[in-house]
């Protein structure tokens, strides 16, 4: 059996165990609403504003998390993976700044065009949401733990969201919002195709060498998806509250 075939088999065992978790997220009411053609403009915009502003906490340390995982993998004798993760970490630098810019642009547009005023500075200065804290804690625990390669499972699942739900949410962004208010999403829909392939390949390599890591990979991936689904839901709820305060229809 070729190395590529062995990698594929290892990844398939992982995929078989995580598919149901992915399906639960896809069937959530928030994802359905965000990808629906009839999505309300103001509610969608307010969700994107909340997602961007609160998402800064979710993205600010991604470069460090991946780099730390790489360093720990190197310490544990996985030199090739350490090198690969080091390069991947650099590709994530500065993405939180895109979310800040999107949040400010959305706030300005909502005020000027939709008559909905949101204090974006207050949102950006606010502490992480509960779901964000859980997500951050997961990264910190994994990257500093005894199985740092499980960071690959987090990256695979979260970056893959950009290739599954991302395109439909991007369509609604292009239909409902002005250009320049969803740059983070637009870039990740494009870039994360390659990032997902990288993560899947590296994860397969780890599972080929360490098949006993499969349960931890699946557990970590499940927790990552649960945290991210909770974040989407929390932003949706807060957007609804914003719209009601503004006297909107939702």
Q: Could you tell me if residue 208 is left (phi over 0), alpha (psi between -120 and 50 degrees) or otherwise beta?
A: alpha
Q: Report pLDDT for 194.
A: 87
**End-to-end CA gap in the chain:** 57
If you search the block for the tokens 């800040």, which residue do you land on?
100
31: CB partners within 8 A, 6+ apart: 25, 165, 232
Distance (Å, whole) CA 111 – CA 86: 41
Which helix (H) or strand (E) segment holds residue 8: the answer is helix 3-26
Task: Quote the distance between the C-alpha of residue 72 and its chain's center.
Answer: 22
Mean of pLDDT values over 86-105: 93
The single-letter DSSP state of residue 210 is -
The CA–CA distances, whole Å, from 80 to 14, 21, 71, 83 equal: 21, 30, 11, 5
pLDDT at 167: 95
Q: Could you give the residue ranges of the DSSP H alpha helices within 60-116?
A: 62-75, 79-90, 95-109
Which tokens is 227 given? 């945290």
pLDDT exceeds 80 at position 1? no
CA-CA-CA-CA torsion sign (98, 128, 40, 249): negative
Dihedral (CA of 138, 56, 247, 170) sign: negative
Q: Predicted confidence band at 135 (pLDDT cuts at 50, 70, 90)?
A: very high
**CA distance readout (Å), 125 to 54, 56, 59, 235:** 9, 10, 15, 16
Write out the H or E segment, with its range, that includes residue 190. helix 183-209
In this predicted structure, the answer to whether residue 248 has a pLDDT above a threshold of 50 is yes
Q: What is the mean pLDDT of residues 61-74?
A: 96
Decide which of 117 and 8 is more confident: 117
Mean pLDDT of all residues belonging to the chain = 94
Q: Encoding tokens for residue 64? A: 């460090």
Q: What is the DSSP letter of 128?
A: P
Reported as a single tens digit per residue, the pLDDT across 153-164 is 999 999 999 999
Letter string b/e over residues 191-225, b meaning 16 or more CB atoms within 10 A of that residue's CB? bbeebbebbbbbbbbbbeeeeebbebbbebbbbbb
183-217 pLDDT, tens digit each: 999 999 988 788 899 999 999 999 999 999 999 99
């Amino acid at each position: 059996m070729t190395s590529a075939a062995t990698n594929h088999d290892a990844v398939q065992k992982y995929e078989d165990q995580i598919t149901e978790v992915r399906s639960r997220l896809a069937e959530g009411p928030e994802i359905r609403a965000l990808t629906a053609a009839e999505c309300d403009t103001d509610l969608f915009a307010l969700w994107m504003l909340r997602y961007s502003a609160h998402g800064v906490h979710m993205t600010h340390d991604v470069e460090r998390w991946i780099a730390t995982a790489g360093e720990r993998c190197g310490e544990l004798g996985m030199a090739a993976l350490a090198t690969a993760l080091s390069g991947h970490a650099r590709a994530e630098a500065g993405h939180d700044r895109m979310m800040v810019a999107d949040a400010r642009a959305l706030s300005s547009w909502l005020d000027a065009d939709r008559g909905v005023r949101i204090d974006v500075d207050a949102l950006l200065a606010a502490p992480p949401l509960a779901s964000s804290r859980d997500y951050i804690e997961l990264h910190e625990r994994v990257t500093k733990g005894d199985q740092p390669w499980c960071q690959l499972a987090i990256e695979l699942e979260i970056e893959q969201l950009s290739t599954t739900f991302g395109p439909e949410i991007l369509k609604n962004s292009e239909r409902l919002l002005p250009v320049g208010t969803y740059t983070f999403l637009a870039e990740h829909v494009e870039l994360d195709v390659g990032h997902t392939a990288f993560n899947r390949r590296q994860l397969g390599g780890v599972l080929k060498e360490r098949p006993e890591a499969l349960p931890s990979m699946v557990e970590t991936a499940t927790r990552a998806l649960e945290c991210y689904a909770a974040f989407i839901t929390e932003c949706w709820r807060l957007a609804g509250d914003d719209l009601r305060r503004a006297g909107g229809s939702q």
